[in-house]
Amino acid sequence: MGLKFSDMKKLEELKTKCKCGVSVEINQHKNYYEKVEDNIFDDDKEDIPNDVLNKMIELDTIVRVQFYPNTPVGCYVIYHYDLEEALDEALNILN
């Protein structure tokens, strides 16, 4: 999974639009020898579309974007198998 210039621009835009923190994690589950489905909390699984979750499992890939638009109290968390699509989803929430 290579980082493209468009991904960097989207990440910079996300950072600029958020008043607080932005974090991106890719494949952290592999650091613990976990399966995709074992690494995601059940509450979070409910918010991931089935086709996206199934593709994450198929590709053994977790892209997790967490961002705090206004305060350090409330955040959004996006799970996906594709970094660019996860960043697009985050930016759509902010727009």
| DSSP run (H or E) holding 44 | helix 42-45
pLDDT digit string (tens) for 46-75? 999 999 999 999 999 999 999 999 999 999
Q: What is the pTM of this model?
A: 0.91
**Residue of higher predicted confidence among 12 and 3:** 12
11: which strand partners? Answer: none
- Using alpha carbons only, what angle is made at residue 16 by residues 15 and 18, rounded to the nearest 5 degrees? 65
Residue 15 tokens read as 């950072």
- Using CA atoms, how far apart are residues 12 and 31, in angstroms rounded to an integer? 26
Count other C-beta atoms under 10 Å from residue 93's C-beta. Answer: 13
Average pLDDT of the chain is 94
